[in-house]
Chain A
Amino acid sequence: MKWLSDDKLNYLRAVVANPDFSSTKYTFIKELGRGGMGTVYLTEDRELNRLVAIKVLNVPQVTEDLRNRMIREAQIIARLEHPGIVPVHDVGVLPDGRVFYAMKYVRGSRLDDYAAQNGSLGDRLRKFQAVCDAVAFAHAHGVIHRDLKPQNIMIGSFGEVLVLDWGVAKILATDNTDEDGFIRIHPSNPWPHDTSAGTVIGTRDYMSPEQARGETSQLDERADVYSLGAVLHFLLKDQSKVGKAAAAICSKAMAPAKESRYSTASELSAEIGRLLDAQPVSAYQESAIEKVSRWVSKNRFLVLLVLAYLLMRIILVFTSRP
């Protein structure tokens, strides 16, 4: 009697666990990662001859509610057409009944890995500003992410920034229709799968206080602003020359009371822009010396020229004396 080795058994187990894409246009390549509700696989789209990432619902008990949640997640992302939000290409059902959606495969690294390899403060701030812009776009279309963290942000190989994993996103309720593509809740088309009050959704270290208390009905864009502040804090924590202005922006974004935070991600993005341009920021009141110091730092060459001129003048005064 022949026995299979452990390696062969593990291989067979892995093959069996892989989803069956045979009835789709996708060819399985490998598993990319696992989350709470789904597993992401790298596949090849045979029709378009390109690599795509596919998220498959992967829980022991698949309920109708979970299936609808997965489809809703794909619909939310598909409506958010922005360079900073990973696009959804397709949605479907596997032969075994599991729901999946196909999205752009991002070649690059997660923000936490990227930050570990790239030390420049300016570069981190620019990447962070791009994240804020993507989130602001989602907010403008009535969607809050609710799980922003470095692990859900990808930096592509050309420096592009993409926000991933909208699995716990919340649609903000509105009664108005809008031709510009605002996602809305209509009485005849309710979203029955929104998180009930008391449920805590997200990642603890990046979660706003109101989110941690399970106040799901009170959540608005400022919950994401808090999470963005936490991401900024993560990006700044190992930097030696952060500066008081950057620290103040971080503190304001992460204010415990949401009324004290930036009211939108756009506001936070604009503030980061001012910081990058060496302009005063609203979060920090500079002293006169700090204003002068900032101006001098921004106009170093001109200041050096004027100082050189004055020095030359002094030298001429002394050398021309009889």
Chain B
Amino acid sequence: MSKPLIGVLLGAILGLIDGLTAWFTPAVRDQLLGIVIGSTLKGIIAGVAIGFFAKKFHSLPLGIVFGLLVGAFLAWLVAFMQGGYYFEIILPGTLVGLIVGFATQKYGKPALTANT
């Protein structure tokens, strides 16, 4: 399995879980479907970016830091559009980025290097 694909799958799964937990917040429960779709898409976008980064750069610390930043940024965007719940959105989003960053560096087929 390639690194971008791992990133997409893991990002999607964690994004889905992220979105589903919105059910526990009664104030936004009626927007659950939109939240789940948005959260899953956010996870996929983060996974693609982090996965391609992992394909290009083989460094676990760099991959984790990049994942953290991408996850935090995308989560911030969502929180900004929501106009609230910054802590509840950015913290888990950052952690998702960290997990995807770690997993894409550790697993998946690295890119083939050309013979010179």
Contacts and interface: CB of A to CB of B under 8 A. Distances in A.
Given A313-B92, A320-B88, A305 B21 contact: no
A312 B89 CA distance: 12
A321 interface: yes
A111 to B, nearest CB: 34
Interface stretch (B51-59, B74-82, B94-102): B94-102
B95 A312 contact: yes
A184 to B, nearest CB: 38
A309 B96 contact: yes
Q: How large is the interface on A (under 10, 10 to 19, 20 to 34, 35 or more residues)?
A: 10 to 19
A301 B101 CA distance: 13
A104 to B, nearest CB: 37
Chain B contact surface mostly = helix
Contact of A306 (B24, B88, B99): B99
Interface string A292-322: 0000000001100110111011001100111
Contacts of B24: 317, 320-321
A302 B91 contact: no
Q: How large is the interface on B (under 10, 10 to 19, 20 to 34, 35 or more residues)?
A: 10 to 19
Chain A contact surface mostly = helix
Interface of A: 301-302, 305-306, 308-310, 312-313, 316-317, 320-322
A320 B14 contact: no
Given A302-B103, A309-B14, A316 B98 contact: no
Q: Counting chain B CB atoms within 10 Å of each CB, which of A301, A308, A316 scores highest?
A: A316
A302 B21 contact: no
B25 interface: yes
11 contacts: A302-B99, A302-B103, A309-B14, A312-B95, A313-B92, A316-B87, A316-B92, A317-B21, A317-B25, A320-B88, A322-B26
